[in-house]
Structure formats: C-alpha cells, structure tokens
Amino acid sequence: MPAPPPPDLASLSLAEIARLAEANRLPPVESWNPAHCGDSEMRIARDGTWYHQGSPIGRAAMVRLFATILRREPDGGFVLVTPVEKLDIAVEDAPFVAVEMKAEGEGDAMRLAFRLNTGDLVTAGPDHPLRFAQRGDGPRPYLHVRGGLEALIARPVYYELAQIALANGSGPPGVWSNGAFFALEPQP
C-alpha cells in the first residue's frame, strides 16, 4: 500500500502539525547495530534529490521510506540501516530540505513549523534548533530534524525567516520558536 501524500502545511494549524509530527513514529534506527555491508550506491544531492546509481529516484514514497532508515554515524557519515544490514549513503550537504514554513504567534510566543522535502513536519524549538553556517557562497540555514540529521532550509524559506527576524527588531536579528531564540548570525 503506498504511503499517503504529505499534508498541505498551509491548511493545518500548528497544533495539528505538532500532533502529526508526534504520530509519525520512526523505526528505532539508533538501536540497530548490524554489520556494515558496503555502499548503497545512493546519494542525496544538495537540493534534496535522492539518486541511485546516478539516476534520480522518482517515486516520492520510496524516498520517504528510505528517509525513515537514514542515520548519522558518530564519525559524521550517513548510512541506511535495518536490523540486518548497514549501507553507506553519500550526502552532499544535508539529507533533507525544509521547503515550506508556517509561523503562528508573535515575539517569544511564536512557533515555526517546517515541511521537509520528504513530507515530514518539524517544529523548531529546543529539540529542533535552527543554526546558521557561513560558507563561501553565503549563509546556509539548517534545522535539526533528528539524531544528527539536518534539513537545509530552502532559500525562499530562509527569506521568510529573515523577514520575521527583521520585523521583530531583536538584536541580533533572529527568530523565536517554541520558547527558544535563534540568532540569524552564522556560527563557525
């Protein structure tokens, strides 16, 4: 049976988003420790496109399935893991991309929810912080998703964050979500 399509973020309240995110039970990949079996011949491009043997994976349901078994290793590498095998996967930047954002509230009562390219929903806050890294081609904003896995925040969504930060008049410019403040200043 195919996985249901991701929900439309604009039609949901943040309470509904939080409920959906909580209900999205993932496999316990952090507790699986099978022997390393090799390379998956898969890669996740900077734009969030998943490839297998050089060809894009066109089925969104397949990408969502693979994303549930993705894990970040202590050495910083990425693997696809099941109870019986572990395969390397190349990740060019971050394994996910935050493609849409919804904001509710104002000031320190604001909450920011993000929809990822996989359809997953994540609300920024103490457990899902935002960070801003400076790279040669400019600042790159990231959202912690789970277990060391991050989402690169797509440029249009970053502009929305910057607009909120400039409008709230904080110094340094930043945004609030779930009681946590995130400065838009790049971190080393």
CA distances from 41 to 38, 66, 113 (A): 9, 13, 32
Burial class of residue 109 in the structure, from the number of CB atoms within 10 Å of its CB (0-12 exposed, 13-18 middle, 19+ buried): exposed
Pairwise CA distance, residues 182 & 188, whole Å: 15
pLDDT digits (tens, 9 = 90+) for 93-120: 999 999 999 999 998 899 999 999 998 9
pLDDT digits (tens, 9 = 90+) for 127-146: 999 999 988 877 899 999 99
Domains and their CATH numbers in the chain: 9-91 (3.10.540.10), 96-183 (2.30.270.10)
- What does the pLDDT average to over 147-161? 95
Residue 1: pLDDT band with limits 50, 70, 90 = very low
pLDDT of residue 170: 76
Please indicate, yes or no, whether the overall pTM of this predicted structure exceeds 0.75.
Answer: yes
pLDDT of residue 172: 87
pLDDT digits (tens, 9 = 90+) for 27-73: 888 888 898 889 999 999 999 999 999 999 999 989 999 999 999 99
pLDDT digits (tens, 9 = 90+) for 25-40: 678 888 888 988 899 9
- Asked if the model's pLDDT at residue 2 lies above 50, the reply is no
Burial class of residue 162 in the structure, from the number of CB atoms within 10 Å of its CB (0-12 exposed, 13-18 middle, 19+ buried): middle
Pairwise CA distance, residues 148 & 77, whole Å: 10
